[in-house]
Amino acid sequence: RKEVEQDPGPFNVPEGATVAFNCTYSNSASQSFFWYRQDCRKEPKLLMSVYSSGNEDGRFTAQLNRASQYISLLIRDSKLSDSATYLCVVNLSGGSNYKLTFGKGTLLTVNP
């Protein structure tokens, strides 16, 4: 299994659609999980952290399944401005020794 593996994409969806991204990770001891967003030719920026109990921020919902070692991101009511690459990020080393490993990203295009 690759260290952090995401849906390859790309995803093309109409405005208002619901879209889900999945990501698997290799180290069961991993403790920190994140979703980052990267606009074209820009630096990545944190979208949201992923907590064990799952968390929601407006139209975005993140979930963690430790047993299956995957995290997910759900975007509801997609907007044109949601078009970007979404990166799954995992601290594979566990604990406070932060060495974050990024997935290759999934490109989302929301169409009018």
Partner 1 sequence: SQTIHQWPATLVQPVGSPLSLECTVEGTSNPNLYWYRQAAGRGLQLLFYSVGIGQISSEVPQNLSASRPQDRQFILSSKKLLLSDSGFYLCAWIDQNTGELFFGEGSRLTVL
Provide, rounded to whole angstroms, the least separation between the CB of residue 101 and partner 1.
7
CB of 32 to partner 1, least distance (A): 5
Which CB sits closer to partner 1, 40 or 67?
40
And the tokens for 71?
Answer: 């995290």
Best CA proximity match to 83, nearest among 107, 48, 103, 59:
107
Which lies closer to partner 1 via its Cβ, residue 69 or residue 101? 101
CB of 91 to partner 1, least distance (A): 6
Contact 3, 25 (CB under 8 A): yes
Eight-state DSSP code of residue 3: S
What six digits make up the tokens of 29?
A: 């001891």
Interaction site with partner 1 (CB under 8 A): 4, 32, 34, 36, 41-46, 49, 87, 89, 91, 96, 98-105
